[in-house]
Amino acid sequence: MNNLDHTMVKENYAGKTWKFILQEFKPKGKFLTPFNIISLPIMLLGLVLIVIRFWKGLGSITNLTQEVPWGLWIGFDVVTGVAFAGGAYVITFMVYILNIKKYQSIVRVTVLNGFLAYVFYAGALLLDLGRPWNVINPIIGNNFGTSSVLFLVAWHFLLYMIAQLIEFSPAIAEWLGKRRAHKILSGMTVAAVIFGITLSTLHQSGLGALYLMAKEKIHPLWYSEFIPVMFFVSSIFAGLSMVIFEGSISYKVFSDQISDKSHASHNSIIVGLTKICAVTMFAYFFLQVLVFVHAQNWHLLNTPMGYWYLVEIFGFIVLPMLLFILSYKNNSTFLAKTAAVLTMVGIIINRLNVTVIGFKWDAVSHYYPSWMEIAVTFAVIFTEIWVFRWIINRMPVLRDSPSWAKNHN
């Protein structure tokens, strides 16, 4: 580092950085895009609904019942959203642990996606808490419910967010031009990755383990003592499908950000990911069959829930698995994207089957999310995309790092 440069900047350092950050808050580019026109009203509506929710209680905008206390916000926002965020630990595993350089160019965007998913979906969890002012109880103080799976999941969310922030922080340092911080933060990456993968293994499965005690409440086709294993294995291809899906959108929307080198490797990365998806989906399908045979649930197949189960298994696991295989045999990114979308729909169906649709399936009255719950969910997703876009347009996530930062990676 240049010492002279350093001392000269030092006096006005803090002030300049803040000024720079404030300037960066100004919107860039065209404002009245179709996406903005659709997303802004929904975000505003979501904000109004959230105010009502905290003012009049959860019942004022949700359809939650005494029998189904966890609905769309937990089943979709948290449980499904976190599965989709699984790409971050898989990609960092390949790049930093297995040293596969090929995927280096998508590490930052995947980690950013994962980090934002956790921030917003764990944030959605706060909306669902009846007494959110006590949320600090399991974190500080002496109210540690250590026998609770949720205690574990809550702590892991918190720690994993920190780990992901550390993994992403070099990009922030590059944006602000902080060379020294960049050096220190880059040095922490490997430790954060190792810690992050360990945390992910446990809380991806932990989200499934949350439902272990609801033994008689979940339809037997979806309940087994192997839910944690299922949730973990499926988070691998759920996360990677999200990477393929998100990657192909970013590729178009932010094409000006992507360097020529990354452009060239885009297809090769997608094809590589489809192989991993196909293999893990086969393992997952095999596990599903084992669990099904082990539980001796044959008689349940010829019921409406049984047909629904078969749709999930064959329509959204076997079919996309075959498409993934076809896509890498034919080197077709179109097939890969189709398979990724099908897989994602399948993951949504699977998580909702465990948490909402199959939960109290035999009850007299069923839970259906209210339009307001759905609106808040969309508002959360749109806000996340806004923040994602803001960061992509400012920090070196898709584009190359500045030349001074390259030596460290």
Partner 1 sequence: MKMNRRNFFQTLGITSLTLAIGKSGKAITNKKTNVDFKGILIDATRCVGCQSCEIACAEVNNLPEPTDSPEVGITRNLTEFQRCVVNAYDTSKGEIYVKKQCMHCNQPACDAACLTQAMNKTVEGPVIWRGDKCMGCRYCMVSCPFDIPKFEYHSANPKIQKCDMCFSKIKEGGVPACVENCPAEAIIFGTRRELLNEARKRIVENPDTYYNHIYGESEAGGTCVLYLSPVPFEELGFKTNLQNSSYPELSKGFLYSVPTIFVLWPALLLGLREATKDEPVKTIENE
- The 339-378 site mask, x for binding partner 1 (CB under 8 A), equals ----------------------------------------
Taking CB under 8 A as the binding criterion, the range among 18-26, 116-124, 136-144, 387-395 that sits at the site for partner 1 is 136-144
Residues that bind partner 1 (rule: CB under 8 A) add up to a total of 62
Interatomic CA distance for residues 330 and 274, integer angstroms: 12
CB 347 within 8 A of CB 91: no
* Closer Cβ to partner 1, 144 or 334, answer by number: 144
Residue 388, class by beta-carbon neighbours within 10 Å (0-12 exposed, 13-18 middle, 19+ buried)? buried
Q: Which is nearer to partner 1, 17 or 201 (CB)?
A: 201
| Residue 139: CB minimum distance to partner 1, A | 10
Nearer to partner 1, 216 or 256 (CB): 216
Give the separation between CA 76 and CA 82, rounded to whole angstroms: 9
Query: Does 135 participate in binding partner 1 (rule CB under 8 A)?
Result: yes
Cβ closer to partner 1: 218 or 323? 218
> Residue 51 CB: number of other CB atoms within 10 A?
10
Any idea what the Cα angle at residue 161 is, between residues 151 and 21, rounded to 5°? 145
> Which member of 56, 102, 180, 329 binds partner 1 (CB under 8 A)?
56
Single out the residue of 38, 187, 301, 311 in contact with partner 1 (rule: CB under 8 A).
187
Minimum CB separation from partner 1 for residue 194, in Å?
A: 5
Cβ of residue 381: shortest distance to partner 1, in angstroms? Answer: 22
Part of the chain binding partner 1 (CB under 8 A), chosen from 137-145, 237-245, 284-292, 379-387? 137-145
Of 73 and 175, which CB lies nearer to partner 1 in the complex structure?
73
**Does 37 contact partner 1 by CB under 8 A?**
no
Between 9 and 136, CB nearer to partner 1:
136
Per CB under 8 A, the list member of 107, 109, 149, 392 interacting with partner 1 is 149
Binding mask 63-82 for partner 1 (x = CB under 8 A): -x-xx-xx------------
Using the rule CB under 8 A, is 114 a contact of partner 1? Answer: no
Closest CA to 78 of 323, 275, 348: 348
Secondary structure (H, E, C), the chain = CCHHHHHHHHCCHHHHHHHHHHHHCCCCCCCCCHHHHHHHHHHHHHHHHHHHHHHHCHHHCCCCCCCCCCCHHHHHHHHHHHHHCCHHHHHHHHHHHCCCHHHHHHHHHHHHHHHHHHHHHHHHHHHHCCCHHHCCCCCCCCCCCCCCHHHHHHHHHHHHHHHHHHHHHHHHHHHHCCHHHHHHHHHCHHHHHHHHHHHHHHHHHHHHHCCCCCCCCECCCCCCCCHHHHHHHHHHHHHHHHHHHHHHHHHHHCCCCCCHHHHHHHHHHHHHHHHHHHHHHHHHHHHHHHHHHHHCCHHHCCCHHHHHHHHHHHHHHHHHHHHHHHHHHCCCHHHHHHHHHHHHHHHHHHHHHHHHHCECCCCCCCCCCCHHHHHHHHHHHHHHHHHHHHHHCCCCCCCCCCHHHHHHC
Tell the smallest beta-carbon distance from residue 170 to partner 1 (Å).
Answer: 17
Using CB under 8 A as the criterion, what x/- string covers residues 193-222 for binding partner 1? -xx-xx--xx--xx--xxxxxxxxx-----
Residue 144 binding partner 1, by CB under 8 A: yes
Q: Among 33-41, 145-153, 332-340, 372-380, which window interacts with partner 1 (CB under 8 A)?
A: 145-153
Report in angstroms how near the CB of residue 56 gets to partner 1 at its nearest.
6
Question: Alpha carbon 195 to chain centroid distance?
Answer: 17
Q: Does 140 help bind partner 1 (rule: CB under 8 A)? A: no
Q: How far is the CB of 354 from partner 1 (least distance, A)?
A: 12
Q: How far is the CB of 185 from partner 1 (least distance, A)?
A: 14
Residue 191 in contact with partner 1, rule: CB under 8 A = yes
Regarding 51 and contact with partner 1 (CB under 8 A), the answer is: no
Q: Which residues bind partner 1 (CB under 8 A)?
A: 54-60, 62, 64, 66-67, 69-70, 93, 96-99, 128-132, 134-135, 137-138, 143-152, 154-155, 159, 187, 190-191, 194-195, 197-198, 201-202, 205-206, 209-217, 225, 228
